[in-house]
Amino acid sequence: MTLTDAEQLFLARQTRGHLATIGPDGIPQVKPLGFSYNPALGTIDIAGIYMASSAKYRNIRSNPHVAFVVDEVTAPTMDGAHFLEIRGDAEPAVGPHDPTGHLAPEIVRIHPRRVISFNVDPAHPGFAARDIKPVDSTERLLHGCSEILTVLRVSISSRDPATIRCLLGVLSGPETGRLRTVQFASRAVYIQGRCTYRMEQRRSAGEGDACGAGEIGPDRPGAGRGR
């Protein structure tokens, strides 16, 4: 567990935080924004309407070091001041499908490395700080694999059921261990695009929508590797 129960409860009460990033020119930027805690990955996920074109998204691609702060004032005293600061590494990621169509698929995902708080845990009021050991990169990708496929399954099936059937057919091949799973996770979008291309060829030739793993070609993710 990345954040404690008390820290998660504190975040659940809040609707807005502040994200500080560093631009390519070294100039810092701070923006108020909405957020959500991802308990499966132990991350802070930040979505937006035009995320891919935002300054914060560009900033984390050049410098992943960020700070995220959520604060609350419940009384005009020291006891009524509360804040949670999360310092960590941010990465561009794919968020869950938004059925309203308002949010962009791109999100900023923060992996906490240090947590600093004040009056967040009622059982331990006052100042607290601790470091968080980074999660193994392979383990993180394995978690991301199921998340990526869930996103693709929801977003594609509503538009083109044949595409998702093709994708799932490719992924149903024999498992060859963690490396193969990681390759599938990191290149799921590539598989989707290649399936779509194959199906367009078949439709043009009047051969229907079917697309199997064998039709993806020898350069499909994992082929000839990780064996």
- Summarize pLDDT for 62-88 with one digit per residue, the tens: 999 999 999 999 999 999 999 999 999
Residues 56, 127 within the same domain:
yes
- What pTM value is reported for the model? 0.62
| Cα dihedral sign, 158-191-169-210 | positive
At 216 the pLDDT is 40
Do residues 116 and 206 share a domain?
no
Number of domains in the chain: 2
Percent of the chain clearing pLDDT 90 (strictly above): 52
Q: Is position 226 within any domain?
A: no
Q: Provide the pLDDT for residue 25.
A: 93
* Domain of residue 199, residue span: 140-215
| Residue 186 in this model has a pLDDT that exceeds 60 | no
Strand partners, 43: 38
pLDDT value, residue 96: 85
Regarding whether 186 and 126 lie in a shared domain, the answer is no
Residue 214 vs residues 42, 157, 173: alpha-carbon distances, Å: 37, 21, 10
Shared domain for 94 and 35, answered yes or no, is yes
pLDDT at 187 over 60: no
110 token code pair: 């923060």
Percentage of the chain beyond pLDDT 70 is: 59
Asked whether the predicted pLDDT for residue 99 surpasses 70, the reply is yes
The predicted structure's pLDDT at residue 149: 53
- If asked whether residues 130 and 25 sit together in one domain, one would say yes
Under 8 Å between Cβ of 209 and 162? yes
Looking at the structure, tell me whether residues 92 and 154 fall in a common domain: no
Last residue of a domain, one of 84, 108, 135: 135
CA proximity to 152, closest of 140, 141, 161, 143: 161
Radius of gyration, CA atoms only, the chain: 21
Exposure pattern of 201-224 as b/e (b: 16+ CB <10 Å)? eeeeeeeeeebebebbeeebbbee
Query: Of 118, 135, 152, which marks where a domain is finished?
Result: 135
CA atoms within 13 A on the CB side of 177: 4
Q: Of 92-96, 170-174, 176-180, where does mean pLDDT reach its minimum?
A: 176-180
Using alpha carbons, list the distances in angstroms from residue 33 to 77, 80, 82, 167.
26, 23, 18, 35
Other C-beta atoms lying within 10 Å of the C-beta of residue 25: 7
Same domain, 84 and 109: yes
Q: Does some domain include residue 222?
A: no
Residues 74 and 147 in one domain: no
66 and 164, same domain (yes or no)? no
Q: Are residues 70 and 144 in the same domain?
A: no
Residue at 185 is within a domain: yes
